[in-house]
Chain A
Amino acid sequence: MHPAYSVIFFTTSSGAGYGLLFWLSLLHAAGGAPDGRWSLLAILVMALVLITLGLLASTLHLGHPERAIGALSQWRSSWLSREGLAALATYVPAGLLALVWLFGIGTAWSVPLALLSAAGAVATVYCTGMIYASLPTIREWNMPMVPAIYLVLTAASGALILATLLALFGAASGWVALLTIATLMAAAALKWLYWARIDANPGKYTDEMAIGIPGASAIRQLDPPHTRPNYVMREMGYLVGRKHARRLRRIALASLCGLPLLLVLLALLWHAAAPFLLIVATLSAAVGLLIERWLFFAEASHVSMLYYGRKRA
Chain B
Amino acid sequence: MTTLPPETGKKLGLVIDLDICVGCQACVTSCKEWNTGGHSAPLSDHDPYGADPSGAWLNRVHSYEYEKAGVSRTVHFPRSCLHCEEPACVTVCPTGASYKRIEDGIVLVNPDTCIGCKLCSWACPYGAREYDHDDGVMKKCTLCVDRIYNETIPEEDRVPSCVRACPTGARAFGDLGDPDSAVSKSVAAREGFGLLEEFGYKPVNRYLPPREAAPRAVVAEPQGETASLPNPRSAVERLFAWADRALSH
Contacts and interface: CB of A to CB of B under 8 A. Distances in A.
B209 A73 contact: no
A68 to B, nearest CB: 6
Interface string A196-238: 0000000011000111111111111111111111111001100
Interface stretch (B5-13, B117-125, B147-155, B235-243): B117-125
A79 B96 contact: no
A191 interface: no
Contacts of B73: 216
A211 B77 CA distance: 8
B119 A131 contact: yes
Nearest to A313: B125
A307 B79 contact: yes
A227 B60 CA distance: 12
A284 interface: no
A78 B92 contact: yes
Interface residues of A, number: 60
A162 interface: no
Contacts of B95: 67, 70-71, 73-74, 81
A243 interface: no
B121 to A, nearest CB: 6
Contacts of B193: 212-214
Contacts of A64: 114-116, 136-137
Given A63-B116, A64-B137, A74 B1 contact: yes
A165 B13 CA distance: 60
A303 interface: yes
Given A77-B92, A79-B92, A222 B116 contact: no
Interface of A: 1, 61-65, 67-68, 70-74, 76-81, 84, 131, 134-138, 204-205, 209-232, 235-236, 302-305, 307-308
26 contacts: A63-B115, A63-B131, A64-B137, A67-B95, A70-B94, A70-B95, A74-B95, A77-B3, A77-B91, A78-B93, A135-B92, A138-B122, A209-B196, A212-B194, A215-B68, A216-B73, A217-B68, A221-B64, A222-B64, A225-B28, A225-B79, A228-B54, A230-B130, A231-B56, A304-B127, A307-B127
Given A63-B116, A212-B194, 14 more contacts: A1-B122, A62-B136, A64-B136, A68-B115, A74-B2, A74-B94, A76-B2, A135-B92, A211-B64, A218-B67, A221-B63, A229-B54, A236-B127, A307-B79
Interface of B: 1-3, 18, 23, 28, 52-54, 56-57, 60-69, 73-75, 77, 79, 88, 91-97, 113-119, 121-127, 130-133, 135-137, 191, 193-196, 198-199, 207, 209-210
| 5 closest Cβ pairs, A-B complex | A63-B116, A63-B136, A304-B127, A223-B63, A225-B60
